[in-house]
Amino acid sequence: MARRQRTQKVPVALPQMESAPEHWLRNIRMSGFTFTVLGLIVMAVIVLAPGLRLVIEQQQQLAALKAAVDAQETGVDALEGDVARWSDPAYIEAQARGRLDYVFPGDVSYDVIDDSAAAATDGGAPISDTIQTTEVDWMRTVVGSIFTAGLTDDTTATLESPVVK
């Protein structure tokens, strides 16, 4: 029989031009099981993503509603405090005096109007804080005005006040 000649195996060097990521990708072996698992993962993401989005939106709505409830509870607490104050007769009396200017019979009430502005006369002189007496007899002036208006022959144009309002 003829003997077969054996071929000799000679190692061949591959070019070293590929980078590390290319070398890593070249060594990955994909099997049917790997493709199946990857397909199942992609399908799970597609199926679960809308539901997950809905859950996140509902959690945000729930947080907003809880914040609104907390604000309403704070308002209720404030209103309960107001109700408690209004049940006190002294508070009701103070509100009636302050808001409505009510006084008890026999009390004297003073209203101060624009107390922040300094009081002055038309000429700019400050108003005196002492009591002064007038030099004019107002009764004689009123009676004289009545007689002048009833007995005069002047027209209304001449009797009008020279001060224009």
Strand intervals (E) in 25-123 = none
Separation CA 95–CA 93 (nearest Å): 5
In a domain, 158, yes or no: no
In a domain, 91, yes or no: yes
In a domain, 93, yes or no: yes
* Better pLDDT: 116 or 70: 70
Q: How many domains does the chain have?
A: 1
pLDDT for the residue numbered 158: 77
DSSP assigned state of 116: T
Separation CA 66–CA 55 (nearest Å): 16
* Better pLDDT: 5 or 139: 139
Show the domain range for 92: 55-106
In a domain, 28, yes or no: no
In a domain, 96, yes or no: yes
In a domain, 71, yes or no: yes
Q: What is the pTM of this model?
A: 0.36
Separation CA 47–CA 53 (nearest Å): 11
Separation CA 45–CA 51 (nearest Å): 10
Contact (CB, 8 A) for 91 and 85:
yes
Contact (CB, 8 A) for 18 and 24:
no
pLDDT for the residue numbered 155: 78
Please determine, for residue 79, whether its predicted confidence score (pLDDT) is greater than 70.
yes
